[in-house]
Amino acid sequence: MTLARGPRPGPAGDLAWLDPGPLDPGPLDPGPEAVHGSVLDTVGATPLVELGRLFARPGVQVLAKLELMNPGGSMKDRSARYIVASGLADGSIPPGSRLVESSSGNFGVAVAMAAQLHGLSFTCVVDRNASAANVTIMRGLGADVEVVDVPDEAGGYLHTRLARVHEILATTADTVWINQYANERNWLAHYHGTGAELVDQLLVPPTHLVGAVSTTGSLLGCARRLREVCDPLQVVAADAVGSVIFGGRGGYRELPGLGSSRVPELHSPDEIDRVEHVDDATAAEACRELLATEAIFAGGSTGAVVTAVARLLDDVVPPARIVAIFPDRGDRYLDRVYDDAWLDRARARRVALSR
C-alpha cells in the first residue's frame, strides 16, 4: 500500500468554521530566491531520520520526525504560528491586543516569537520547571513572563498557572487567552503541518505513531491526518509518570512539556491505542542513549518517546514502520537531562516510586 496524496481535506462539520486550512506557503515556497520574509516562515518542513542504530530490528523501521529543528526550538512553533495567524485573519485576535497564555516554556517561546513578529503584546505564565533559557528567550522576544512556584493539588503547577491567567484576563484590557489545552487550532496546526508533511514524506504508510503528550494537540493532529490515509495506524502516547491525562494519580515530576496535571479539553482517549508512562530518570537515560547512538541531542520528552518506542518494540510484530515525533532540542535541558547530579536525584525518585 502506498500513501494516497492529493487535495488535503479539512475537518468536517462543526469545526469547519475555525479551520482556515494550511495558512502559509511556508518554507516549501520561499520564492525564486530562497529568502524568507521572517523566521516564522521557516517553521515546519522538518526532516525524518531513520533510527537504525538505536533500534536495529529486522523488519521494523523506526523514523524520527525532528520537530526539534523548528526555529524556536520545538514543535510548538507550529501551533503558535497557526493560532496567531488564523486568529488575526478571522478577528478573534484583534490587532495590537495582548495575548495571555500558560506555558511550560516551549509554547511560550513560540507565541512570543509570533507575537513579536505580528506586533502583539504577550504575557506568559510559566512555572518553576520552565528552563531558565526559555524564560530568557521569551523576555528577549519582548514577552512579560510571570513565574508561579506554588504546586497544585495534583503535584504540578498547571492549576496555579491557570489561576494566574484568569486573574490577568479579569484585570487587563484587550487581552486574548490562547488556551492551548482547549484550542482546536492547536491540533489543526499539526493536522495541516506535521501530519500533512508525514503524508508527503512517506511513500509506505507507518503502522505506528508515537508522540509525547501534554495538551495532546500534536499527537491528535498528526494521528487525524495520518489516519485519513493509513489504516490501521496504532497511536501511542508517551506520558509522564505523575500526569493525570489518562486517569493516573497526579505526582511530582520535573521535565517540562510532558504530561499534565489536568485533563485537557482536547483529549480524545478513543483515538489513542496505547499509553506509556515514563518517569523523569528513564526519559533522561533514553535521551543520553539517543545522543550516544544516533547523535541526536533532544529534550526530555523525546526520551519519553524513545522509551515508549522501546516498550512498543517488545510487542510489535514485523513488518512495522514506527514514526516517532521528537518535540524539542536538548540545549535547554543541560541543567536536567544532561546534568549528572540531576539524573542521580531523578533516579532516587524513581526508586522511591517503585517501593
Ligand X SMILES: Cc1ncc(COP(=O)(O)O)c(C=O)c1O
The only residue of 70, 74, 97, 261 in contact with ligand X, by rule CB under 6 A: 74
Does residue 183 interact with ligand X by CB under 6 A?
no
Report angle CA 178, 181, 185 to the nearest 5 degrees. Answer: 60
Size of the site for ligand X (CB under 6 A): 19
Cα–Cα dist 31/254, whole Å: 43
Identified binder of ligand X from the candidate list 70, 106, 116, 243, rule CB under 6 A: 106
Among 194, 218, 243, 261, binds ligand X (CB under 6 A): 218
Shortest reach from residue 176's CB to ligand X, in Å: 19
**Cell numbers placing 323:** 514514526
Kindly tell me which of 51 and 213 has the beta carbon lying closer to ligand X.
213
Phi-psi region of 257 (alpha: psi -120 to 50; beta: other; left: phi over 0): left
160 makes contact with ligand X (CB under 6 A): no
- Judged by CB under 6 A, does residue 213 bind ligand X? yes
CB of 136 to ligand X, least distance (A): 17
Query: Number of helices and strands (H, E) in the chain?
Result: 10, 10
Choose between 60 and 233: whose C-beta lies nearer to ligand X. 233
Q: Is 146 buried (19+), middle (13-18) or exposed (0-12) by CB count in 10 A?
A: middle
Q: Which residues contact 105 (CB under 8 A, 6 or more apart)?
A: 126, 129, 130, 131, 134, 135, 256, 257, 332
CB of 57 to ligand X, least distance (A): 25
- Indicate the Cα dihedral angle 116, 118, 120, 122, nearest 10°: -40
The reply on whether position 217 binds ligand X by CB under 6 A is: yes
Question: Which residue is nearest to ligand X, using beta carbons?
Answer: 257
Residue 330 binding ligand X, by CB under 6 A: no
Question: Do residues 328 and 77 lie in contact, with contact meaning Cβ atoms separated by under 8 Å?
Answer: no
Quick one: which of 117, 78, 84 has its CA closest to 101? Answer: 84
- Among residues 101, 127, 152, 328, which is the contact residue for ligand X, using CB under 6 A? 328
Which residues between 234 and 293 bind ligand X (CB under 6 A)? 257-258
User: 202-214 as b/e, with b when 16 or more CB fall inside 10 Å?
Assistant: beebbbbbbbbbb
Percentages helix, strand, coil for the chain (3-state, rounded to 5) are 40, 15, 40
The binder of ligand X chosen from 55, 107, 333, 342 (CB under 6 A): 107
Closer CB to ligand X, 55 or 191, in the complex? 191
Between 22 and 327, CB nearer to ligand X: 327
**Closer of 72 and 251 to ligand X (Cβ):** 72
Task: Please list every residue from 27 through 46 that binds ligand X, using CB under 6 A.
Answer: none
User: Do you know the residue count of the chain?
Assistant: 355
Query: Using CB under 6 A, which residues numbered 124 to 143 contact ligand X?
Result: none
* Residue 102 binds to ligand X (criterion: CB under 6 A): no
Cβ-based burial of 221 (10 A; exposed 0-12, middle 13-18, buried ≥19): buried
Q: Coil, strand or helix: which one is 325?
A: strand
Q: Which stretch binds ligand X (CB under 6 A): 49-57, 164-172, 216-224, 313-321?
A: 216-224
Stretch that binds ligand X, among 34-42, 196-204, 215-223, 331-339 (CB under 6 A): 215-223
Q: What is the DSSP letter of 164?
A: H
Say how many C-beta atoms besides its own lie within 10 A of residue 228's C-beta. 16
- Nearer residue to ligand X within complex by CB, 60 or 194: 194
Binding range to ligand X, per CB under 6 A, among 54-62, 131-139, 209-217, 343-351: 209-217
Integer angstrom CA distances of residue 188 from 106, 122, 184, 219, 233? 18, 22, 6, 11, 19
Determine, following the binding rule CB under 6 A, whether residue 301 of this chain makes contact with ligand X.
yes
**164 touches ligand X (CB under 6 A):** no
327, 329, 337, 343: residue in contact with ligand X (rule CB under 6 A): 327
Whose Cβ is closer to ligand X: residue 80's or residue 230's? 80
Q: Under the rule (CB under 6 A), what is the footprint of ligand X?
A: 74, 76, 104, 106-107, 212-219, 257-258, 299, 301, 327-328
